[in-house]
Amino acid sequence: MTASLQHPLLLLQEIERRSKAYAFELPQQLDVRTTWDGVGFRVGNMQLVAAVDEVKEILPVPRLTAVFGAQRWVKGVANIRGTLLPVMDLQGFVQGGTTVPGRRSRILVVRHKGIAAGLMVDEVLGLKHFYEEEYGAEGGEGDPAFARYLRGSYRQEGEIWPVFSMAALVDSPEFMQVTA
């Protein structure tokens, strides 16, 4: 019998030595970077991103019931799982134009300070991830009508993604004036 079989402690030490000799090193994470996540969407020709926590839900355009005496940017109300949701045309509110619902159009559901609203946009561009160092305080190029709702922008792969604040939109007194 060998000495290692006679002494269990020696056997364990030999196994440890062999394991260390043939073990691979764990990969080291050298670059720890903080990310910011948002929902990308398009309004007219402008691509924007809103914080993931400000968009509670994304819906296809539901059947809408018109609201008599409302601003023209109020598209109507929708019954979403038994709850009435007012739906606004984001482009109509901010720019004065009109979003014509198409197959890519979506409703971004916002809930802020007890107010729930659906915002119709031309298209949802998906979940976007940005590194903090890609952030800039400027709102990016684009329509000045959006400027009061923008909170900086992210630059990624040559594209500028202005950050649209849903909270600033809902907090604006004009947004709460839905009657014509």
State the SS3 of the chain: CCHHHHCHHHHHHHHHHHHHHHCCCCCCCCCCCCEEEEEEEEECCEEEEEEHHHCCEEEECCCCECCCCECCCEEEEEEECCEEEEEEEHHHHHHCCCCCCCCCCEEEEEEECCEEEEEEECEEEEEEEEEHHHEECCCCCCCHHHHHHEEEEEEECCEEEEEECHHHHHHCHHHHCCEC
Per-residue confidence (pLDDT) for residue 4, from 0 to 100: 42
For residue range 105-160, list pLDDT tens digits in order.
999 999 998 889 999 999 999 999 999 999 998 866 667 889 999 999 999 998 99
Per-residue confidence (pLDDT) for residue 76, from 0 to 100: 95
How far apart (Å, rounded) are the C-alpha atoms in residues 50 and 170? 13
Q: Higher-confidence residue: 139 or 98?
A: 98
How far apart (Å, rounded) are the C-alpha atoms in residues 49 and 87? 19
pTM: 0.79
Per-residue confidence (pLDDT) for residue 7, from 0 to 100: 77
For residue range 4-48, list pLDDT tens digits in order.
456 788 888 888 888 888 877 777 766 778 899 999 999 998 999
Identify the band that residue 1 occupies on the pLDDT scale cut at 50, 70 and 90. very low
Per-residue confidence (pLDDT) for residue 51, from 0 to 100: 97
Per-residue confidence (pLDDT) for residue 19, from 0 to 100: 83
The answer to whether the CB of 140 falls within 8 A of the CB of 161 is yes
35-176 CATH: 2.40.50.180
Per the DSSP assignment, residues forming a β-bridge with 60 are 106
Q: Which of 38-42, 70-74, 98-102, 103-107 has the lowest mean pLDDT?
A: 98-102
Identify the band that residue 164 occupies on the pLDDT scale cut at 50, 70 and 90. very high
How far apart (Å, rounded) are the C-alpha atoms in residues 158 and 134? 11
